């Protein structure tokens, strides 16, 4: 048994306060060193569930601060998703559902490629518009993976967007070109999914 286990409550509290004071000094120093003000590019990748959910959580946060936002969905083709029903009704959000659904549902390469190009052409002027605080490009990474959009072209446009515009890109796999220009990259791991247990997808959880 260690000596600390015999310490008085006062001694334990003193050690706790010392640790917290040291931690605060470290955090304060990091905050003080972060002086640059600009928009960031966030990539949400991985095979786990929750990438789009995280992006729309940030969208809700931005709206809570009164910011103007935009959403471009590159795959989802139905307007019955919960996020569309909720966010598209808000005047601060420009919401665009550009896809025709998943590729295994459409089974039309030309149609999918044209939808991707139209969505990207819609996105380009948004990236240069300082009125937008946050732009969510949902499932954009798949357009690169499938060869519908050029990775270098997309990365260049994202890197050269207006300085104050924040962008969130979702998708399982991110091209190296996007990773090279990103500020924050989060990977969501799949440790299990109800669908593989035979549980039917349901509104509010899956769409």
Give the pLDDT of residue 80.
73
Give the pLDDT of residue 186.
97
Give the pLDDT of residue 5.
59
Site of tokens 């928009």: 39
Site of tokens 């640059």: 36
Q: Which value, to the nearest 10 degrees, does the dihedral of the CA atoms of residues 116, 105, 72, 139 take?
A: -90
C-alpha distance from residue 48 to each of 34, 144, 165, 191, 192 (Å): 31, 19, 27, 7, 8
The model scores a pTM over 0.75: yes
DSSP H helical ranges for the chain: 9-33, 51-64, 82-87, 103-106, 109-127, 140-145, 151-159, 176-181
Q: For 38-197, which CATH class?
A: alpha beta
CA nearest neighbour of 51 among 155, 143, 159, 172: 172
Give the pLDDT of residue 34.
67
The pair of structure tokens assigned to 58 is 């940030």
Domain assignments of the chain as residue spans, ordered by start: 1-35, 38-197
Is the distance from CB of 48 to CB of 189 less than 8 angstroms?
yes
Give the pLDDT of residue 21.
82
Give the pLDDT of residue 207.
75
Give the pLDDT of residue 106.
55
Per-residue pLDDT tens, the chain, 207 aa: give them: 455 556 788 888 888 888 888 888 887 787 777 678 999 999 999 999 999 999 999 999 999 999 999 999 998 655 678 999 999 999 999 999 986 544 445 567 888 899 999 999 999 999 999 999 999 999 999 999 999 999 999 999 999 999 999 999 999 999 999 999 999 999 999 888 887 888 888 888 887
CA nearest neighbour of 99 among 124, 127, 122: 122
Give the pLDDT of residue 118.
94
CA nearest neighbour of 187 among 50, 41, 21, 8: 50
The SS3 assignment for 186 reads strand
**Antiparallel, parallel or unpaired: β 134-138 and 93-97:** unpaired
The pair of structure tokens assigned to 18 is 């010392």
C-alpha distance from residue 201 to each of 1, 85, 94, 194, 204 (Å): 51, 18, 27, 8, 9
């Amino acid at each position: 048994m260690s000596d600390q286990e015999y310490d008085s409550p006062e001694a334990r509290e003193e050690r706790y306060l010392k640790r917290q004071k040291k931690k605060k000094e470290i955090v304060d120093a990091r905050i003080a060193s972060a002086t640059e003000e600009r928009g960031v590019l966030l990539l949400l990748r991985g095979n786990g569930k929750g990438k789009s959910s995280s992006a729309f959580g940030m969208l809700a946060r931005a709206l809570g601060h009164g910011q103007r936002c935009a959403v471009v969905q590159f795959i989802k083709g139905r307007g019955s998703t919960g996020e569309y029903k909720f966010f598209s009704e808000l005047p601060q959000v420009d919401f665009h559902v550009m896809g025709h659904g998943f590729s295994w549902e459409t089974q039309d390469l030309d149609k999918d490629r044209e939808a991707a190009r139209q969505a990207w052409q819609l996105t380009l002027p948004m990236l240069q518009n300082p009125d937008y605080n946050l732009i969510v490009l949902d499932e954009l990474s798949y357009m690169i993976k499938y060869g519908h959009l050029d990775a270098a072209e997309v990365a260049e446009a994202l890197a050269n967007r207006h300085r104050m515009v924040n962008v969130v890109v979702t998708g399982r796999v991110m091209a190296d070109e996007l990773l090279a220009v990103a500020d924050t990259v989060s990977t969501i791991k799949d440790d299990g999914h109800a669908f593989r247990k035979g549980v039917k997808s349901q509104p509010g959880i899956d769409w």
